[in-house]
Structure 1
Amino acid sequence: MPDAPPLTPDRPVPAVGGELRLPKPPGVIRQFWARHPRLTDSILAALYVVPTFIATMVIASDSPTPPLVATLLQVVGIAIGGAAVLLFRRTRPWLLTGIAWSVCLMVAPFGMSDGFPILYALYALGVYRSTKAAWIGFGGSVGVTTLSAYLEAWVAPSPFGGPVATSSQYAAIMLIVTLIGVTVGNRRRYLLALIARAHDLARERDQQAQLAAAAERARIARELHDIVSHGLTVMVTLADGSAATASRDPERAAEAMRSVAETGRSALGEMRRMLGVLREPGGSPAELAPQPGLSAIPELIDGFREAGMPVRLTTSGVPEADPAVALAVYRLVQEGLTNALRHGRNAQHVEVRLQHRPGEVEVLVEDDAPPPQGDAPVTRGAGRGLAGLRERIALYGGTLDAGPRGARGWRLRATLPVTPAEPCGTEDPHERIDDGTPE
């Protein structure tokens, strides 16, 4: 069975946030006619054609000398008007109006009048076009029926009143029909606008849910990249160092391998916490743990020092209490040092500088690694780390600059705006340097 169209009253399509159920149209009879428009138009056309045809035949048969041409013309006009009502009432009401005017003027010179198709046309203009179209059609119809009344009176004067009385009666009936058509049409257009608005709201809700899901996937991808890239880079470096020193210094090699295991366990723990949010609703809850911040940066740098990187940390200013920015700063330092460890293993100095100023924090990570020489292995990345950092910095309205540092080394500099808040503690605002040497 094919799927029903979206937002149908009998079976709405479920959306991301649940079903959007439209109210059921009132009335069984009204729903039936709405589902069978051709049947409705056929009945309306028959209600015009059959009585008018019978009346025409009765009048022609009662006449002592039946006007054959007039009768035939009236029958042709009835057929044309009925066909126009059937075919064009909903789709081309202006064409129906023109045909109705033509039929009315066509039979008037023979002393007959036929204004019923005009009433159908005025109602159709009000319902299926606009209020303006209905009133324009009403004005034109008043002129046509007035001319028809004068033609009819000129050929066969009526004992019940002159053309003025006849045209005024036509105008009054057409005014009532026009008002009904405008009222029904305005209600129909209002309901269609409400339904269209409901469709727009459903699409907007689904789009917002999809955008939120995409943003969350991008955030998780950035976090996983930072965790996995950092952990694997440190583990590879420690493993290489352990292999190089295993023969001459087994104890140092064993210590390096223990650091490899510890780094792997730490990365796995972070990754499990990150992936815990992707579990099914009925699964076990994710393990809760605080995200790393500024206080975790010294421990992060100690891990890189264990991997053999000569890192010096310089901090100045008083950090402000903004956990989101603190996490971004931590990831910036982590990604910068990971890239330095991966691409610049021969660096003699690696500098990490955090400058906390009122309203912003600046992060600088740079090294002095020389370019690779000869057949030295070159580790190339896919650029996802820097792309993730740019996305992360853009979320806070900051700036990021990454590129070569002259002839030697690489520099990563970022500036993040910080909303003024209470200080994280009573840190000394003066510059503090940590180069790994014991105090």
Structure 2
Amino acid sequence: MTEAPISPGYPASVVGGELRLPKPPGVVRQFWARHPWLTDSLITALYFVPTFFGSIATLFASTPPPPWVTVAQLLAIVVAAAAILLFRRREPWLLVAIAWLVCLVVYPFGSTDVFPLLLALYALAVYGSTRAAWIGFAGSVVVTTASSYISVWAHADDTVAPFGANAPASASQFTVLLLIATLIGVTVGNRRRYLNALIARAHDLARERDQQAQLATAVERSRIAREMHDIVSHSLTVMVTLADGSAATAGRDPERAAEAMQHVADTGRAALVDMRRMLGVLAEPDATSEHPEELAPQPGTAALPVLVDRFRAAGLPVQLTTVGPPIADSNLQLTVYRIVQEGLTNALRYAATAHRVDVTVEHADDMVRVDVIDDADVASTSELTSGGKGLVGMRERVALYGGTLEAGPGQQRGWRVRAELRADENSPPADAATLNSDDTEDHA
């Protein structure tokens, strides 16, 4: 298995599996990362304690500095320590400015100490940016060089002239220390920002994967709901109509009633086959099906004559006309079949007074046009205007092919459903043997 691009050394997760994140830091680094105040306090104490007591110890030296110098040093140490504790992470530029001020004003008159400045440059590189770190380094070189010359001038006597030879040496040493601190900070900061970017990207990928899964689930639920509605609504409508007709004719024409009930049984079996087929594709792919028809192909345009015959048996005067070459795309065939099925179901349910229902499937160029037109009274079909899952399902199916759906009263009378779908031009031509030649003729 190949390595995951965001996590070298780790195998790429399979589709739908866990999205691996970069390996987190070690236990020690995790501890310090969880306790930033403890980390800053220890760093502050590491600077403050020896420096503060070292400055006090100079008062007991053989030649102590003037009291104001010692007081200024102690005050500067306190200010620098407070800045390290408070601003090292949140405001590194402020810490740099305070370190510059202390380095220029106070330390030249005592012992020059650039430890706060080193911490400031490191913090600027880690919590700021690489560009800010190098700008801070350039400014710090200027400040420490000036501080070195000021220190030489402050301790000048008859043998050491102002801006003597000690200043360049001291400045060069400070430059090397500042460069080391900046390079370490830039390395750590870049690694930190890169790791954060990887983790953020991994979370974005995981979020996008979850959103895609939710969208796929919603689309699949909508598809299943459409199929369930088409199967159940169509079958039940036909069965109820046939059962009502059988009940009405049972007394005077038992044979016709028995024939109608046989159609009810046939319709119910066909509905069960459709249900098993749809539910079969939701089962585990390696599961052994007890019903081979569960995984049989979905109905297409070749099944339209059987569908029409079923509605004729229910008493609906349907005529089917197909024009043009056979449709090659099996998905488009299913869509056409479901549209015709829904249109005839609505006609059977709401257009009981219709004397003729025409179904036309026309395939021309890259368009497929489906018309279902009845001549019933408009008043009897007015309930269709309220819409429902059937019309919504048809609109969704048509929208998948970039087509349009029109449903409304006909020009003279009755109800008309017209759907136009864009056929896939890249679909291979259908085998003529797969479609019965009678499908292209009028069915009386």
Q: What band does the TM-score fall into relative to the shorter chain?
A: 0.7 to 0.9
Contact 1:312 1:433 in 2 (8 A): no
* Deviation readout 1:99-143 (Å, 9 max, x if unpaired): 222222331463443321111010001111111111121122223
Q: Which moved more, 1:86-95 or 1:298-307?
A: 86-95
Return the match for 2:424 from 398, 418, 429.
418
- Which residue does 1:293 correspond to in 2? 300
Contact 2:372 2:417 in 1 (8 A): yes
Superposition deviation, residue 16 in structure 1: 9.2
Q: Does 1:400 align with 2:378?
A: no
- Which residue does 2:197 correspond to in 1? 193
Contact 2:126 2:188 in 1 (8 A): yes
The number of equivalent residue pairs is 421
- Which residue does 2:244 correspond to in 1? 240
Amino acid at match of 1:338: T
Q: Does 1:205 align with 2:213?
A: no
Distance 1:140 1:166 in 2: 16
Contact 2:239 2:268 in 1 (8 A): yes
Distance 2:42 2:103 in 1: 21
* Deviation readout 1:391-417 (Å, 9 max, x if unpaired): 112222233222221351121122221
* Deviation readout 1:300-350 (Å, 9 max, x if unpaired): 000000111111111122204221111111111111111111121111111
Amino acid at match of 2:442: D
Superposition deviation, residue 149 in structure 1: 2.7
Q: Which moved more, 1:404-413 or 1:59-68?
A: 59-68
Distance 1:40 1:358 in 2: 74
- The alignment-based identity, stated in percent, is 61
The 5 Å alignment of 1:29-428 reads 29-108=28-107, 110-157=109-156, 161-279=165-283, 285=289, 287-372=294-379, 382-416=387-421, 417-419=423-425, 420-425=427-432
Instruction: Give the gaps of 5 or more residues in structure 1.
Output: 1-13
Amino acid at match of 1:225: H
Distance 1:234 1:147 in 2: 99
Look up the SS of the partner of 1:434 in the other structure: coil
Residues 418 and 243 of structure 1: CA distance in aligned 2, closer, same or farther (over 3 Å): same
- Which residue does 1:10 correspond to in 2? none
- Which residue does 1:9 correspond to in 2? none
Contact 2:409 2:415 in 1 (8 A): yes
Superposition deviation, residue 183 in structure 1: 1.4
Residues 65 and 180 of structure 1: CA distance in aligned 2, closer, same or farther (over 3 Å): closer
Contact 2:124 2:133 in 1 (8 A): yes
* Deviation readout 1:360-391 (Å, 9 max, x if unpaired): 32211111111237xx9957865211211121
* Deviation readout 1:219-268 (Å, 9 max, x if unpaired): 11111111111111112222222233233323222322222232123213
- Which residue does 1:11 correspond to in 2? none
Look up the SS of the partner of 1:366 in the other structure: strand
Residues 45 and 378 of structure 1: CA distance in aligned 2, closer, same or farther (over 3 Å): closer
Superposition deviation, residue 424 in structure 1: 2.7
Q: Does 1:433 align with 2:441?
A: yes
Residues 377 and 350 of structure 1: CA distance in aligned 2, closer, same or farther (over 3 Å): closer
Q: Which moved more, 1:83-92 or 1:303-312?
A: 83-92
Amino acid at match of 1:50: V
Query: TM-score, structure 1 length as denominator?
Result: 0.87
Superposition deviation, residue 155 in structure 1: 2.2
Superposition deviation, residue 22 in structure 1: 2.8
Q: Which moved more, 1:98-107 or 1:334-343?
A: 98-107
Distance 1:70 1:16 in 2: 69
Distance 1:322 1:194 in 2: 43
What is the alpha-carbon root mean square deviation over aligned residues? 2.9
